[in-house]
Chains A and B, each alone.
Chain A
């Protein structure tokens, strides 16, 4: 199979998939660099799994192309593509032992001597000596690793991972995330990882695409997306943001001036995606610092005042809710670094931030403040 062919980037061009009247994937175009770890992040039903299945060949696109290098593979049967998948349910063959599960792809391609390769692959996923067991005799994490080995052994040009860690418990999931990243670096194959878990996407991927309603809202390095989200959806899907509704009144001297709820604020022009009209001014909760009164705010910082309505101690940090004068509750995360004093619930407080940490997004005129995160789907749910 296309094992030693000159490699290429994976490109999706105007890819669309409709199920009846429902558009699952809407004119999607993106390029995934060869050898990169790419994550498609989105909530349940956003089209990410459909996109993956179109790359695998398990779903035929309504229109558009899937290009691997210069070759359009969108209409090739799945078994003719140099692409392998790690399924959400693992889909291990229950009637075959682990060795034969891993050897399956090689045998179908007519390769006779598979022993060395299978043994090597099993040790890559740390399952040496498990060859003659049946899938049902392994734990969830072990089954997951078998599914990975079974796909990787074929040296595909692209490895697709469909929520591969969804069924694992939290601790195992963290461990597997590190493991997956290690293996990806080791084998150098392009990984396309579909997940609804933003932390998982950020931990592992070089590039993250945030999907919503069949479209990509933002694509970039995890840190870039997190620090400067492109839309309100991204700001609250990837982590959490305090988005204040305001009116931008134009740029002057490198800053964009914003009036929000009667307070005059500003954001550096480089952090503004709009400079006039209705905007959201966003600040991440961990970029807000809580102090007792306005005279404690250092020069050059901006602030809002309010009343602390809730404080949750979560170990590494304390998460406060600050109710502002106009009724919006802002989230403030204070790291438990031992340098700040706790603020009592019910007391007046001031939250301040460095304007360089804020960002400005265009806003629908009807949209108001948004501070709650987009809810994750429950673990293990399919999408």
Chain B
């Protein structure tokens, strides 16, 4: 699947034979140039700018201007102030990931191995919601989960929900939104891995005394590991940084770190704080990802 392609292409180009002319030797680098320039201008420079902003004097403001005081204390300060939101971000994203795995793995497996001629149609169904805006889809959930909606009415009628119970503006709604919005990022790489799984290997496993559960654990799961790792990363990284779901489906009690960064930059106009939070989020995600990859041990992904 194309989602895996960028990581594959990350390997250095093979060294050309010495006999080749200099221009030929330069060709791979020339091909890299536009992309590298793009990254430098639109990622590298802003990143440095942000790093600088995170060290500005916190007592400054947009109107009075910021002074560069190398205020490293910004970092412990924001962590002190917003650690609950940090924890909540990873908690919600983790919970959503578990739900997405429960939904997505069987789905990807069914499409890859059992769908037959419906395979392409089902794949389109997985991707189709992405044709509408992220915002619109989340707003649609707001309607579905609203207090006057049919779903809440039904749940109240069957006493699964207290008469004054709600779905909207609860952690449940936020986790549900995260699960829904990022599910395709998990399903597609998983599908790509499972599609390559040779069903004859499963026959061989059952022939060699593996029960269906054992065959899954010993054959299907390890062989789908590259897709599983790629999919969980593609799900978890944007989900833990998300702020739309908490904003639209939750209350300030459900706010994640993305909401704090959002308000630091756009409402409170506290740039040093927003920048420091952004870097902390990045560092935390990198730490989680590397820890995860070490444990998963799949050199195929990175």
With a cutoff of 8 Å between Cβ atoms, the chain B residues found around residue A151 in the complex are: 207-208
Choice from A77, A93, A109 contacting B206 with Cβ under 8 Å = A77
A-B pairs with beta carbons under 8 A, tally: 61
CA distance A93 to B205 in the complex (A): 9
CA distance A108 to B214 in the complex (A): 8
Q: Is the CB of B207 within 8 A of A93?
A: no
Tell me, yes or no, whether A122 is within 8 Å of chain B by CB.
no
Known: A84-B208, A105-B208, A105-B209. Contact between A89 and B200, CB under 8 A? yes
Q: Is the CB of A85 within 8 A of B209?
A: no
Choice from A77, A94, A108 contacting B223 with Cβ under 8 Å = A94
- B203-220 interface with A by 8 A CB criterion: 203-211, 214, 218-219
Q: Is the CB of B208 within 8 A of A56?
A: no
Q: How many residues of B contact A (CB 8 A)?
A: 17
Q: Is the CB of B204 within 8 A of A91?
A: yes
Q: Is the CB of B204 within 8 A of A87?
A: yes
Tell me, yes or no, whether A171 is within 8 Å of chain B by CB.
no
With a cutoff of 8 Å between Cβ atoms, the chain B residues found around residue A93 in the complex are: 201, 204-205, 218-219
Q: Is the CB of B203 within 8 A of A91?
A: yes
Tell me, yes or no, whether B84 is within 8 Å of chain A by CB.
no
Q: Is the CB of A154 within 8 A of B208?
A: yes
Q: How many residues of A contact B (CB 8 A)?
A: 24
CA distance A185 to B136 in the complex (A): 72
Known: A58-B203, A91-B198, A91-B203. Contact between A104 and B208, CB under 8 A? yes
Q: Is the CB of A104 within 8 A of B206?
A: no
Tell me, yes or no, whether B222 is within 8 Å of chain A by CB.
yes
Closest to B202 in A: A91
Closest to B215 in A: A79
Closest to B221 in A: A95
With a cutoff of 8 Å between Cβ atoms, the chain B residues found around residue A84 in the complex are: 207-208
With a cutoff of 8 Å between Cβ atoms, the chain A residues found around residue B222 in the complex are: 95
With a cutoff of 8 Å between Cβ atoms, the chain B residues found around residue A87 in the complex are: 200, 203-204
Closest to A56 in B: B207
CA distance A69 to B155 in the complex (A): 58
Closest to B219 in A: A93
Tell me, yes or no, whether A150 is within 8 Å of chain B by CB.
yes
Q: Is the CB of A79 within 8 A of B219?
A: no
Q: Is the CB of B206 within 8 A of A91?
A: no
Closest to A85 in B: B207
CA distance A84 to B206 in the complex (A): 10
Report which residue of A57, A84, A108 has the largest number of chain B beta carbons within 10 angstroms of its beta carbon: A108
Tell me, yes or no, whether A45 is within 8 Å of chain B by CB.
no
Q: Is the CB of A154 within 8 A of B203?
A: no
Closest to A108 in B: B209
With a cutoff of 8 Å between Cβ atoms, the chain A residues found around residue B219 in the complex are: 93, 95
Q: Is the CB of B207 within 8 A of A58?
A: yes
CA distance A93 to B218 in the complex (A): 10
Q: Is the CB of A79 within 8 A of B198?
A: no
With a cutoff of 8 Å between Cβ atoms, the chain A residues found around residue B209 in the complex are: 1, 79, 105, 108-109, 154
B160 to chain A, nearest CB (A): 38
Q: Is the CB of B200 within 8 A of A104?
A: no
CA distance A71 to B102 in the complex (A): 40
With a cutoff of 8 Å between Cβ atoms, the chain A residues found around residue B205 in the complex are: 93, 104
Contact digits for A55-71, partner B, Cβ 8 Å, 1 yes 0 no: 01110000000000000
Choice from A1, A104, A154 contacting B218 with Cβ under 8 Å = A104
CA distance A105 to B218 in the complex (A): 11
With a cutoff of 8 Å between Cβ atoms, the chain B residues found around residue A92 in the complex are: 204
Q: Is the CB of A95 within 8 A of B208?
A: no
CA distance A85 to B203 in the complex (A): 10
Contact digits for A339-351, partner B, Cβ 8 Å, 1 yes 0 no: 0000000000000
With a cutoff of 8 Å between Cβ atoms, the chain B residues found around residue A104 in the complex are: 205, 208, 210, 218
A57 to chain B, nearest CB (A): 8
CA distance A154 to B207 in the complex (A): 11
With a cutoff of 8 Å between Cβ atoms, the chain B residues found around residue A58 in the complex are: 203, 206-207
Tell me, yes or no, whether A78 is within 8 Å of chain B by CB.
yes
B223 to chain A, nearest CB (A): 6
Closest to B223 in A: A95
Q: Is the CB of B223 within 8 A of A79?
A: no
Query: 9 more A-B contacts (CB under 8 A) besides A89-B198, A95-B223, A154-B208?
Result: A85-B207, A87-B203, A91-B198, A94-B223, A104-B208, A104-B210, A108-B209, A108-B218, A151-B208
Which residues of B pack against A, CB within 8 Å? 198, 200-201, 203-211, 214, 218-219, 222-223
- Give me 8 A-to-B residue pairs in the complex whose CB atoms sit less than 8 angstroms apart, sorted by A's number: A56-B207, A78-B206, A83-B207, A84-B207, A95-B223, A104-B208, A104-B218, A108-B214
